[in-house]
Chains A and B, each alone.
Chain A
Amino acid sequence: MEMTAQRLAALIAVLFVAGSALAQAPGDEFGETPAPAAEPTPQRAEGEPAAEPDADPDPDPDPSVALQLALSLGPTTEEQLDEVMASLGYDRSASVFGGDLTVLLPLARWLWVGARAQLRARGWTRDDGEGAFAFGLALLAEAEARLAVSPSLQFGLYVGGGGGLISMRLNEAVDTPAAPAFVAGGRVVVRIAKGASVFGRLEYDYFLAPDFNDSGFDLSLSGMAFAVGVEVRR
């Protein structure tokens, strides 16, 4: 047992040292291998004009902030409210669409934390009259772990939680209950230029006002969602 503990401690120490070395290694945000040490520059002759400074060998130096903008689309989850809306003559509401803006700050090269503002919406059309519409705005705290698999490709896993308001408009009246919001998903990020990337992501959104108006119904903007977006790092 004592030997096992010692081995475990040694393994942790090795991983810590290796992680520190990786964290300190130069390279861009996508984990490019560090450039070899530059040859020592020859002494400049007296009177010779100063040489232009070398171009930054790191195309994306360690960023201090990342901005993500995404558009999302996904199927709705079938709730009791949808059945009632159908019995009242509304068509099925098939999809939730929306967009979000996320700001992330690096805690480590692989770990980012920040906040997301998200908008989600869905509608119920009706053949013989005005349709109904629901949209929600939420603010979530978010954390994302990134793994660079190549200089131009990263995978990310993220979770977030927060809350917001969902507003449902029906027959020109609006009800706006509060709703908790959670998100979890994965992201594939492809670098397209210095400091700029595009990404696709698949996530589960939980954004639902339970038992709104004491009706026994949940007003839901939840569901699986696919999104595409852009990310800018500075």
Chain B
Amino acid sequence: MRTQTGRWTARAALAVVLAALACGDGAPIIQNLVTEDFEVLCGDLPCDWTLIEGDPAQARYVHTFHSGEHGIELTGSDVTVRGPGGTPQPVQISFGSIQGRLVGVCDSGNQLTVRIGLRQAFDASGPPIADTLEADFFPSDDWNETDDRTLTASSAFRDGGFGTTPFTSGFFRVTGVTIEKSGGGSCTISRLIIDDILPARADGC
């Protein structure tokens, strides 16, 4: 009898462990789409970055607080650079799930607009979903303050947009990133991260 009780106890404990493993710990699910560190120089700019608006003198590769830590410096107004995207990834995208984190500094009164192209990698049922998401960043002049923003779509996805469906699942990739600076001073960007962050479900499963 005691042995049978012990078996049931062990089975119950195993079930609890398996349930916990299956449901996760309730933490948000973070899927990284783009991480750009601007570390490698190709010509006058970080590799795979090009100037698409402004004078060449307005964008340059610079070191930041350490000679081994680099970024891209944008000076003056109406200057835009374009950089690479990422590889296709299986993600679930919902309204507000695309988050950007920018590590950098700006002179007071300057603003950076980050746009990403997001495109479904393949979809047999029809033309791929594609859209542009953007957010305005306002970095301070202090290196130890990061700026976190939610990137929102400038137009709806093919299925009616994020607002009407809780999730759009599939293989997506960021096709490219642009950073547009406005304001008269300068900004130095050391790191840009684009994540897809899904909140944990209420039941943890």
A169 to B68, CA, bound (A): 8
A87 CA to B37 CA, complexed, in Å: 11
Q: Name the contact of A87 in the complex, choosing from B39, B67, B70, B191 (C-beta under 8 A).
A: B191
A213 at the interface (CB under 8 A from B): yes
Q: What DSSP secondary structure best describes chain B's contact surface?
A: loop
Contacts of B144 in A (CB 8 A): 80-81, 83-84, 87
Q: Which of A56-64, A68-76, A94-102, A170-178 contacts B (4 or more CB under 8 A)?
A: A170-178
Q: Within B32-70, which residues are at the interface with A (CB < 8 Å)?
A: 35, 37, 39, 63-70
For residue A158, which residues in chain B have a CB less than 8 angstroms away from its CB? none
Would you call B103 an interface residue if the criterion is a C-beta within 8 Å of the partner chain's C-beta atoms? yes
A-B contacts counted at CB < 8 A amount to: 56
Chain A interface residue bracket vs B: 20 to 34
Q: Residue on A with the closest CB to B70? A: A171
Q: Which residues of B contact A170 (CB under 8 A)?
A: 66, 68-69
Question: Is B146 an interface residue when CB atoms closer than 8 A count as contact?
Answer: yes
In the complex formed, the residue of A with least CB distance to B40 is A171
A217 is an interface residue with CB less than 8 A from chain B: yes
Q: If A87-B103, A87-B191, A88-B103 touch, does A173 touch B143 (CB 8 Å cutoff)?
A: no
Q: Does B120 have its Cβ within 8 Å of any Cβ on chain A?
A: no
A174 to B67, CA, bound (A): 7
B190 within 8 A of partner (CB): yes
Residues of chain B lying within 8 A (CB to CB) of residue A171:
39, 68-70
Q: Across the interface, name the chain A residue whose C-beta is closest to B64.
A: A215
- Tell me the complex Cα distance, A174–B68, Å: 7
Q: A225 within 8 Å of B by Cβ? A: no
Interface string of A202-218 (1 = CB under 8 A from B): 00000000001101110
| Interface flag for A121 (CB, 8 Å) | no
Which residue of chain A has its CB nearest to the CB of B191?
A88
Please tell me the size bucket of the interface on B.
10 to 19
Which residue of B is nearest A129, CB measured? B37
Residue pair B66, A80 in contact (C-beta under 8 Å): no
A227 at the interface (CB under 8 A from B): no
Q: In the complex the two chains form, is B143's CB within 8 Å of A216's CB?
A: yes
Q: How far is the CA of A212 from the CA of B103 in the complex (A)?
A: 19
Interface flags, B13-40, vs A, CB<8A=1, else 0: 0000000000000000000000101010
Please tell me if the beta carbons of A217 and B143 are within 8 angstroms of each other in the complex.
yes
* Complex alpha-carbon distance, A215 and B141, angstroms: 11
Closest B residue, CB atoms, query A216: B143
For the complex, give the distance between the alpha carbons of A172 and B191 in Å.
18
Closest to B147 in A: A87
Contact A89-B66, Cβ < 8 Å, known A80-B144, A84-B144: no
Contact code string B89-116 (vs A, CB < 8 Å = 1, else 0): 0000000000001010000000000000
A151-182 CB contact bits vs B (8 Å, 1 = yes)? Answer: 00000000000000000111111110000000
Q: Enumerate chain A interface residues (CB-CB to B < 8 A).
A: 80-81, 83-84, 87-89, 128, 132, 168-175, 212-213, 215-217
Could you list 9 examples of A-B contacts with CB < 8 Å? A84-B143, A87-B144, A89-B35, A89-B191, A171-B69, A213-B66, A215-B64, A216-B143, A217-B65
Closest 10 CB pairs of A and B: A173-B68, A215-B65, A171-B68, A170-B68, A83-B144, A173-B67, A87-B146, A80-B144, A87-B103, A170-B66
Q: A-contacting residues of B (Cβ < 8 Å)?
A: 35, 37, 39, 63-70, 101, 103, 142-144, 146, 190-191
Extra contacts, 20 of them, besides A89-B37, A175-B67 (Cβ < 8 A), are: A80-B144, A81-B65, A81-B144, A84-B65, A84-B103, A88-B37, A88-B103, A89-B35, A168-B66, A170-B68, A171-B68, A171-B69, A173-B66, A173-B67, A174-B68, A175-B68, A213-B67, A215-B64, A216-B142, A216-B143
